[in-house]
Structure 1
Amino acid sequence: MLRLLVALHLLFFNLYACKDGLDSCRQKVIDSESIVEQTIQVPLKNNQRLIFSTTPPKAKIIKHDPYLSLYLIEDEKKFKYPFLININMPLGLIGVDNKRVVEGKIVKKQVGLNTLATFSEPLSAPSLILNSCCALEGIVTERGIIEKEYIERFLKTKEVSYGDIGIRVKDENSTVVVASSNPFIQGNLVQEGDAVLEFDGKKVKESAQLMRDILFSPIGSRHTLKIKRADKVAMHKVATQKRAGGGYRADIFLEFLGLSFDKNLRILHIDKQAMHYGLKVGDKLMQINKKGIRTQEDIFSQINKPKNEDNLLFEREDFQFFVKVN
């Protein structure tokens, strides 16, 4: 009986929000303290909060997504009217912060972990994307919008992980094209510039959906890619492996060898499999195959194609040294 009363109470609140429109959503954001300085702290059901923060919150952390900088924590404030995640197609979208409400729409969807969604109108960061009933559609960061599909999956999965088949894609002339391909995955026959026609027998129409299908697929699952290269079409069998980089972590394919980097290309973590390279946390990647690099895009231009080995130049306290990887 108590659960029924709580459910009816929440239903009434959300219907009331729909009735009163945009101002009620802004007031809910204010009352719930969902935006505090540069963090988002959205109250959810079960006395929990969804946190977006680039630094760990001072709270009991239930789980963490290091790729999208999301945390789920216990809600000590226990806000009575938690936000719901909209599971239906929205009739309209609004960007909401503590001071204003902006009506608009998503004009570019989130493509995987590295390219977040964009809104039709300028929004402050951080802020929330809501529908007219105040249900959550996304969270606005300085890098773009994390869409509800990724938020919902984070909340539902017990352990945070993403799938990877070694490709990053983009939309180009109404075609989904491989933007980069991981040369360190054994047997990876997909190359930069290939057009992805089908994934598991279904026509690929947009890069956003394809990357969700890949990222959300179970580790170890097997899939079929239909690829077009020039005027030739081929079928490739691929296996989903665990994604190691992306989002707020560097994503330069060297993660596959056991090396994790920050955005400044300094080593954050070294797995056991990479200990034999003699590297240390903090070493900075300076060159690949004698080409200077400053950004992730510079790296892809050098490391994107299959080869026997790559020569990497690192710097450690003004001392530079080469490491060969393959």
Structure 2
Amino acid sequence: MFVRLVIGLTFLFINLYACKDGYFSCVAKVKDSTSIQNDSVSIPIKNNKRLVYSKKLPNAKIYKHDEFLNLYIIEDKKNFKYPFDINMRLQLGSAAVNSKTFAEAKVVQEQVGLNTLGKYSTKIKIPAVITSSCCALEGILTPDGMIDKYYLKHFMENSSADYGDIGIRVKDEAKCIKITASNPYLENNPLKRGDCVVAFDSKKISSSAELMRKILFSKVSSKHTIKIKRDGKFYTFKDIQALKRTGGGEISDTFLEFRGIYFNKKLYVVKLSKHFKEYGLKLGDRLIQVNGVRIKNQDELREYVENFKDFSTLLFERNNFQFFVNIK
């Protein structure tokens, strides 16, 4: 009991000291913990582990990997004495912090799912750690945007790095949480592009960021109810099953990932399931057309694939030789 009291008072003192000195203490903590390492972030957390953001494979024992957001949980052999925690309490302000300086700023745009990271109003050198004045984590600032604390918390606290998916992508538009794309390969998918999402599991949804968190953080195979508005009428769909998310973030997100084919930004094939190898496809093949329409990027690919729910004809090129693949 005495030992626990001493430990508790020690951490209380540390937190009070950090709050007292504000972000200057956070800069010192980031520096002392070597949390910024060139283009990577390596933040000490509880249980002798580190939360890592890196586009390169860490040279350490890896416990878990989120391939969508380039996050890792790795072993911390040095065991930094005062690990970071995630601030889920009310916070009046925050700052981007690196090992040399800090810059107080604010979240301009929330993270919307895996494809649209948050925006943070600072010009500090990136990568950086976003913290409260008591040095609790608010997010990680990367070259692609801000990974917010909700995603960090979800990754750290769940045994799996999987995300749920009901086949829709959304954005805020006027007073509508608009579905911008709907997976045509999901069996009996009732949701359509242009629908406005009103409620999820009988609770009103206020933003696309909130909706995507609820969907992504749901357990794979769980069932949900979604209420939408379509052409002025309201519809409620029940027992929509969350499947395992296959694309988004660092991974291509064209809906063809659901079938087992993955692309890079220039539409070269970078990964294939056994199913597509039977079609004669190989890594390095480049996609040129979908259903007779030439495409330039992943967004166009997703749009044209979605328009042809039952059948898609893909034109590929390999060493100046072009060939068709039909997807049902």
Question: 2-side partners of 1:316 and 1:11: how far apart?
Answer: 62
Match of 1:72 in 2: 73
Matches within 5 A, 1:62-211: 62-211=63-212
Per-residue CA distance 1:250-305 (angstroms, 9 max, x = gap): 11100111112233322232223333222122222222112222222211331223
The alpha carbon displacement at 1:146 in A equals 0.3
1:248 to 250, 264, 270: 250
CA 1:258/1:19 → structure 2, altered by over 3 Å: closer, same or farther? same
The alpha carbon displacement at 1:310 in A equals 0.8
Asked if the contact 2:291–2:312 (Cα under 8 Å) also holds between the matched residues in 1, the reply is yes
Match of 1:310 in 2: 312
User: Any unmatched runs of 5+ in structure 2?
Assistant: none
Question: 1-side partners of 2:267 and 2:258: how far apart?
Answer: 15
Question: 1-side partners of 2:220 and 2:308: how far apart?
Answer: 24
SS of the equivalent of 1:25 reads helix
Query: Structure 2 counterpart of 1:103, which letter?
Result: E
The alpha carbon displacement at 1:321 in A equals 1.5
Aligned-CA RMSD value: 1.5
Per-residue CA distance 1:126-171 (angstroms, 9 max, x = gap): 0011001000010011110001111111111112100000000000
Query: Structure 1 counterpart of 2:325, which letter?
Result: V
Greater mean alpha carbon deviation, residues 138-147 or residues 278-287 = 278-287
Query: Structure 1 counterpart of 2:272, which letter?
Result: I
SS of the equivalent of 1:219 reads coil
Per-residue CA distance 1:178-237 (angstroms, 9 max, x = gap): 011111111112111111111111112100000000001111111111111112221223
Query: Structure 2 counterpart of 1:84, which letter?
Result: D
The alpha carbon displacement at 1:21 in A equals 0.9
SS of the equivalent of 1:307 reads coil
The alpha carbon displacement at 1:3 in A equals 5.0
Match of 1:272 in 2: 274
CA 1:104/1:320 → structure 2, altered by over 3 Å: closer, same or farther? same
SS of the equivalent of 2:193 reads coil
Q: TM-score, normalised to structure 1's length?
A: 0.95
Question: 1-side partners of 2:47 and 2:138: how far apart?
Answer: 19
Match of 1:294 in 2: 296
Question: 2-side partners of 1:119 and 1:137: how far apart?
Answer: 11
SS of the equivalent of 1:27 reads helix
Asked if the contact 2:312–2:327 (Cα under 8 Å) also holds between the matched residues in 1, the reply is yes
The alpha carbon displacement at 1:103 in A equals 0.8
Query: Structure 2 counterpart of 1:244, which letter?
Result: T
Asked if the contact 2:102–2:124 (Cα under 8 Å) also holds between the matched residues in 1, the reply is no
The alpha carbon displacement at 1:46 in A equals 1.2
Per-residue CA distance 1:48-96 (angstroms, 9 max, x = gap): 1111011111111111000000011011222111111112121211111
Query: Structure 2 counterpart of 1:236, which letter?
Result: F
Q: TM-score, normalised to structure 2's length?
A: 0.95
The alpha carbon displacement at 1:15 in A equals 1.5
Asked if the contact 1:192–1:304 (Cα under 8 Å) also holds between the matched residues in 2, the reply is no
Question: 1-side partners of 2:288 and 2:40: how far apart?
Answer: 33
SS of the equivalent of 2:278 reads helix
Greater mean alpha carbon deviation, residues 163-172 or residues 182-191 = 182-191
Asked if the contact 2:110–2:117 (Cα under 8 Å) also holds between the matched residues in 1, the reply is yes
State percent identity of aligned pairs.
48
Runs of 4+ in structure 1 off by over 4 angstroms are 1-4
Greater mean alpha carbon deviation, residues 143-152 or residues 85-94 = 85-94
Asked if the contact 1:194–1:229 (Cα under 8 Å) also holds between the matched residues in 2, the reply is yes
Match of 2:17 in 1: 16
Per-residue CA distance 1:3-23 (angstroms, 9 max, x = gap): 554443233212211011111
Query: Structure 1 counterpart of 2:245, which letter?
Result: R
Question: 1-side partners of 2:255 and 2:20: how far apart?
Answer: 49
CA 1:2/1:267 → structure 2, altered by over 3 Å: closer, same or farther? farther
SS of the equivalent of 2:262 reads strand
User: Any unmatched runs of 5+ in structure 1?
Assistant: none
Question: 1-side partners of 2:130 and 2:123: how far apart?
Answer: 12
The alpha carbon displacement at 1:32 in A equals 0.9
CA 1:177/1:275 → structure 2, altered by over 3 Å: closer, same or farther? same
Count of matched residue positions in the alignment of Structure 1 and Structure 2: 326
SS of the equivalent of 2:99 reads coil
SS of the equivalent of 1:245 reads coil
